[in-house]
Amino acid sequence: STALVLFRRDLRLADNPAWSAACAAHAQVLPVFIHRDDDGPWPDGAASRWWLHHSLAALGKSLRDAGAGLHLRRGEPLEILRALITSSGASAVYWNRLYEPATIARDKHIKSALQGDGIAVHSHNAALWCEPWQIATQQGQPYKVFTPYWRNLRPQLQATGPLPAPRVPGWRELPGSLPLAALELLPRIAWADGLAVSWRPGEAGAQELLEIFADDAIGDYAHARDLPARHGTSRLSPHLHFGEISPRQIHAELDRRARSIDAKRRPDIEPYLRELGWREFAHHLLYHFPRTPTDNFNPRFDDFPWAPADQALLERWQRGRTGIPLVDAGMRELWHTGWMHNRVRMIVGSFLTKNLRRHWQHGARWFWDTLVDADLANNTLGWQWVAGCGADAAPYFRVFNPVTQAKRFDPDGVYLRRWLPELAEAPLGLLHEPWRDAGLLRRSGYPAAMVELGESRQRALEAYGALAR
Ligand code: FAD
């Protein structure tokens, strides 16, 4: 019998439950990717599209090496699947689940339509340790706080089980596959050079990063993960988002290596697993609270007096021209590489929502377009956390001070100098607060600070105080 396997954001052959199940049960498997132009309220941003193009190229090559090929299409998934079922004689369709509210609704519709046609539909979990609906509080409710969530999930995790890439039983080419370029995922203007030197999308690129991280950085992760100048984190986030690697694979590999090292020097992998736990928690929240990509989790913030939208001001933030070095360094890192260090994400987010008092949605949308790891669950959690309106969020009154943060986490100014070439020669004392020397600003062309940090913080606290009353 023949099965179609619909690839979406599970762009790998190893530990891919839908792909393995189809290969085990059918004589012929036909891998398909369907790109939808009109993909719900959160269509992929420009950086994600760049990534997807290269990831599909990598998957296509892996499939060819394995004796199959990736059938590429563009349009309405149900229509295309039905046409492919007719032309191939397939009796079953396999896919791995996604968790965005609009995608869940669409998948349910496709599943019941195909089942109505007499086709078997098999959906699997490739992305998460645990399905969002499989974990609940003692009262049977979804979790809203991370620590008890993690206390429940962590003991259930096992460091075993990732599936090897299966042997392809049989494959034949179906007519009508598009060339990859016809999906038009790449930008028309070549702005993505910085992305190309920073990343290698695809399953092999993900495994390579995991090895680098496991060889070296994992041992110092608890400390170095806060230092933006260092490669102290795994940088696996875009690979995880596109399903080029799974949490199960990461866990198994880190555990295997840790066990091979004698107990005294064995790295503690728990702090890293906990971060993957936040990713699970973000998916749990998105599943149970599907309106949170746009609505405040905490409705008290519906009355918050955000300052009115101001495009010019927003653009200064987006382009890294606020005059606050750590904020600008982060925003430029994002623009050039499609990624920003987690601590700096928190700081640029705090600056936007507190010092500039702009709605967190402005930040979430910009991140959505520019991050290669843009992920509806993680981005929503991150922005609601920073703005103080989320589940288990930083309280609004905790305003990050970008100067103190820079002095603490980039004490030698390595990160600031890397992304702010105008200030490369500035002495360390001024690098953190360049506004203290008007001559330096004039000579370097670096902008004056767009707000005074202490005063804008005070105004944010007053706005919050009014809300609290
Ligand atoms: P590592 O430290 O190596 O962590 C390993 C993995 O754990 C990450 O790849 C990621 O999948 C997960 N993870 C780590 N921290 C978090 C977290 N706080 N929340 C959820 N998952 C986490 N992450 C995204 O993947 N996509 C986003 O769109 C996104 N938007 C964010 C927006 C804001 C305002 C903030 C504060 C954080 C956001 N994050 C987002 C979370 C975090 O910043 C990134 O996951 C992390 O920086 C990715 O780098 P890494 O892979 O080296 O992380």
Q: Nearest C-alpha to atom 49 of ligand 1 is from which residue? A: 235
Q: What is the Å distance from ligand 1's center to 61 Cα?
A: 28
Q: In what order do the strands lie in the sheet with 120-124?
A: 71-74, 28-35, 2-7, 92-96, 120-124
Phi/psi at 309 (5° precision)? -55, 140
Other beta carbons within 10 angstroms of residue 179's beta carbon come to 7
pLDDT range class, residue 237, cuts 50, 70, 90:
very high
Q: What is the pLDDT of residue 466?
A: 86
Distance (angstroms) between ligand 1 centre and the Cα of 45 equals 17
Which sequence spans correspond to the domains of the chain? 2-126, 127-161+203-288, 299-468
CB of 386 closer than 6 angstroms to any ligand 1 atom:
yes
- Residue 191 binned pLDDT confidence (cut-offs 50, 70, 90): confident
The reported pLDDT for the residue numbered 393 is: 85
**Residue 463: φ, ψ to 5°:** -60, -40
Q: How confident is the model at residue 170 (pLDDT cuts 50, 70, 90)?
A: very high
Q: Please determine, for residue 39, whether its predicted confidence score (pLDDT) is greater than 80.
A: no
Closest protein CA for atom 23 of ligand 1 = 378
Note the pTM of the prediction, 2 decimals. 0.98
Any idea which architecture 127-161+203-288 has in CATH? Answer: Alpha Horseshoe (1.25)
Query: Ligand 1 mean position to 378 CA, how many Å?
Result: 7
Nearest residue (by CA) to ligand 1, atom 38, is 382
At which residue do the structure tokens 């101001």 appear? Answer: 310
Rounded average pLDDT over 205-209: 98
Is 335 an active-site residue? no
Q: How confident is the model at residue 394 (pLDDT cuts 50, 70, 90)?
A: confident
419 is known as an active-site residue = no
Query: Is residue 383 annotated as part of the catalytic site, yes or no?
Result: yes
Alpha carbons 346 and 363: distance in angstroms, whole number: 11
Please give the distance, rounded to the nearest whole angstrom, from the Cα atom of residue 373 to the centre of ligand 1.
Answer: 8
317 is catalytic: no
User: Catalytic site residue 342?
Assistant: yes
- Binding-site residue positions for FAD: 221, 233-237, 272, 373-375
Instruction: Round the average pLDDT of the chain to a whole number and report it.
Output: 96
Query: What does the alpha-carbon distance between residue 83 and residue 416 come to, in Å, rounded to a whole number?
Result: 54
Please tell me the distance between residue 272's alpha carbon and the centre of ligand 1 in angstroms: 11
**Active site (annotated) includes residue 360:** yes
What's the whole-number mean pLDDT along residues 374-390? 97
For ligand 1, atom 3, which residue shows the shortest CA distance? 234
* Residue in 51, 278, 317, 368 annotated catalytic: 278
Predicted confidence at residue 432, as pLDDT, reads 96
> Cα–chain-centroid distance for residue 367?
10
pLDDT of residue 188: 83
CATH architecture of 2-126: 3-Layer(aba) Sandwich (3.40)
129: Cβ below 6 Å to ligand 1?
Answer: no
More confident residue, 9 or 190: 9
- Quote the pLDDT of residue 98: 98
- Report the alpha-carbon distance of residue 109 to residue 154 in Å, rounded: 34
Q: Cβ(375) to ligand 1 under 6 A?
A: yes
CA atoms within 13 A of residue 39's CA, in its CB half-sphere: 15
Q: What is the pLDDT averaged over residues 321-347? A: 98
Whether 346 lines ligand 1, by a CB cut-off of 6 Å, is: yes
Q: Which residue has a Cα nearest atom 11 of ligand 1?
A: 237
Ligand 1 mean position to 146 CA, how many Å?
Answer: 15
Q: May I ask the CATH architecture of the domain 299-468? A: Orthogonal Bundle (1.10)
Nearest CA to ligand 1 atom 47: 342
Q: Is the dihedral of CA 63, 69, 72, 77 positive or negative?
A: negative
Q: Is 51 in the pocket of ligand 1 (CB under 6 A)?
A: no
Query: 38 falls in which pLDDT band (50, 70, 90)?
Result: confident
Which atom of ligand 1 approaches the CA of 349 most closely? 34
For residues 119 and 246, is the Cβ–Cβ distance under 8 A? no
Is the pLDDT at 96 greater than 90? The verdict is: yes
User: What does the pLDDT look like over 409-460, one tens digit per residue?
Assistant: 999 999 999 999 999 999 999 999 999 999 999 999 999 999 999 999 999 9
Is the distance from the beta carbon of residue 275 to the nearest atom of ligand 1 less than 6 Å?
Answer: yes
Inter-CA distances, 28 with 22, 167, 194, Å: 9, 11, 40
CB 21 within 8 Å of CB 47: no
Q: Which residues are annotated as a binding site?
A: 221, 233-237, 272, 373-375
Map residue 452 onto helix, strand or coil: coil
Confidence of residue 77 (pLDDT cuts 50, 70, 90): very high
CB atoms within 10 A of CB 421: 11
On the CB side of 421, how many CA atoms lie within 13 Å of its CA?
2
Place 189 in a pLDDT band, splitting at 50, 70 and 90. confident
Question: In which band, very low, low, confident or very high, does the pLDDT at 254 lie, cut at 50, 70 and 90?
Answer: very high
pLDDT at site 175: 94
The alpha carbon of 416 and the centre of ligand 1 are apart by a number of angstroms equal to: 21
Q: Which of 342, 401, 422, 433 is catalytic?
A: 342
Query: Ligand 1 pocket test: which of 48, 153, 373, 400 has the largest number of ligand atoms within 8 Å of its C-beta?
Result: 373
Distance 242 CA to ligand 1 centre (A): 14
**190 pLDDT band (50/70/90 cuts)?**
confident
Per-residue pLDDT for 299 more than 90? yes
280 CB under 6 A from ligand 1? no
- Shortest-distance atom of ligand 1 to CA 238: 25
Over residues 218-243, mean pLDDT: 95
Cβ atoms 217, 224 nearer than 8 A: yes
